[in-house]
Structure formats: C-alpha cells, structure tokens
Amino acid sequence: MSDKIAKCTGCTQKDEKKYGEIADIIDLYKDKEGSLIQILHLAQEVYGYLPLDVQKFIASSLQIPLSEVSGVITFYSFFSTTPRGEHTIRVCLGTACYVRGGKKLVERLQDILGIQIGETTEDAKFTFEIARCIGACGLAPAMMIDKVVYKQVNVNKLESIISKYYES
C-alpha cells in the first residue's frame, strides 16, 4: 500500500526518499505509546509540513482512519498542512497588542504579503501567523520574525522590515 501512494502522487525522486524516511520512522515508533503524535512530529521534520498525501501514507501504514490523523493534525497548531516559508512572521494579537494596533499590523502585512493568516507566500519566503502574547506587552504592538522580536512596530515601517529579508 505504501509504495502505491508514494508513486501515485506523481512525486519526485526527492519525495520518494522522504517517504522512505517517513516509512522508517513509522516502523520505529508504531508500537510505542502516543506514537501518532511522535510520528507526525518527525514526519513534519522530514517533509516540512503534512499535506494530505503524507497523511494518507501515515494513516494507511498505521491502519487508522485518515479522518483521525487529520483530526490530530488540525487540532494542534504545531502541525502545518501547507508548506512553510523560509521565515515565519508572527504578529502578536494578545490583549495589549490588540488594543495598541496589532490588528492594523495584520491588515498591512496581509496587503504587503498578499496572503491571509496561516498562509505562505508563493515564493515560499514567508509564512504568516498570529501569536498570543510574546512577552513584550510593555512595548506593544509586537511581532516576531523567526526568533527576532520587533517591538512598538510602526505600520509604515513594515515594508522596510520585510524587504530586508529579501536583501540577504
């Protein structure tokens, strides 16, 4: 069954190698407690995200319903079903940031990036997400790009912040 899916999705050779790795992970973990989450976690590391075909592959290898696998994946925000960008932008919408214009940052970023929350830009540069309080309430509104925290962000500065990530 597993080979069939790996082939029928018309995937590249690189994909086939990834599927192979995921198959190994499944073999290693399938009998352990809480194995589904472990397997999903490692599979996401290998594949980068967990699209439907990977979910099918895992479901049929573990002989559990696909709806259960996707149920777990969509329950935990840790898992992603769409490809992730090179950088992750997280705008804080915790209470402090929300009151001080976090929402405006979101709107402006949507414009600049041309994507909605939870999506990734076509050039795979950015994934855009929302955070709940990143511990910078005193200097709200705040946002993070990867591990860098930007405080008291001015809406008008957003463009230049983003463009820096295209320079390097």
**Binding footprint of ligand FES on the chain (CB under 6 A):** 92, 94-97, 133-137, 140, 142
Look at residue 65 and give the partner it binds from ligand FES, another protein, none, a contact being a CB closer than 5 to 8 Å depending on partner kind: another protein
Please work out, in degrees rounded to the nearest 5, the angle formed at the alpha carbon of residue 70 by the alpha carbons of 9 and 67. 95
Specify the residue, 137 or 162, whose C-beta has the smaller distance to ligand FES: 137
Structure-derived torsion over alpha carbons of residues 154, 158, 164, 166, reported in degrees to the nearest 10: 170
Look at residue 2 and give the partner it binds from ligand FES, another protein, none, a contact being a CB closer than 5 to 8 Å depending on partner kind: none
Report how far residue 33's alpha carbon sits from residue 31's, in angstroms, rounded to the nearest whole number. Answer: 7
Q: How far is the CB of 163 from ligand FES (least distance, A)?
A: 24
Q: How far is the CB of 54 from another protein (least distance, A)?
A: 11
Specify the residue, 96 or 162, whose C-beta has the smaller distance to ligand FES: 96
Residue 93 neighbours by CB distance under 10 Å: 19
Pairing of strands 126-131, 87-92: parallel
The single residue listed with the structure tokens 């994507």 is 115
Look at residue 97 and give the partner it binds from ligand FES, another protein, none, a contact being a CB closer than 5 to 8 Å depending on partner kind: ligand FES
Q: How far is the CB of 160 from ligand FES (least distance, A)?
A: 22
Cis preceding linkage at 141, omega within 30 = yes
In eight-state DSSP terms, residue 82 is: S
Look at residue 155 and give the partner it binds from ligand FES, another protein, none, a contact being a CB closer than 5 to 8 Å depending on partner kind: none
Query: Which residues are registered as beta bridge partners of 128?
Result: 89
Residues that bind another protein (CB under 8 A): 1, 4-5, 8, 21, 24-25, 28, 32, 34, 37-38, 41-42, 45, 52, 55-56, 60, 64-71, 74-76, 78, 81
Q: How far is the CB of 134 from ligand FES (least distance, A)?
A: 5
Q: Are 128 and 113 in contact (CB under 8 A)?
A: yes
Report how far residue 95's alpha carbon sits from residue 134's, in angstroms, rounded to the nearest whole number. Answer: 11
Specify the residue, 39 or 113, whose C-beta has the smaller distance to another protein: 39
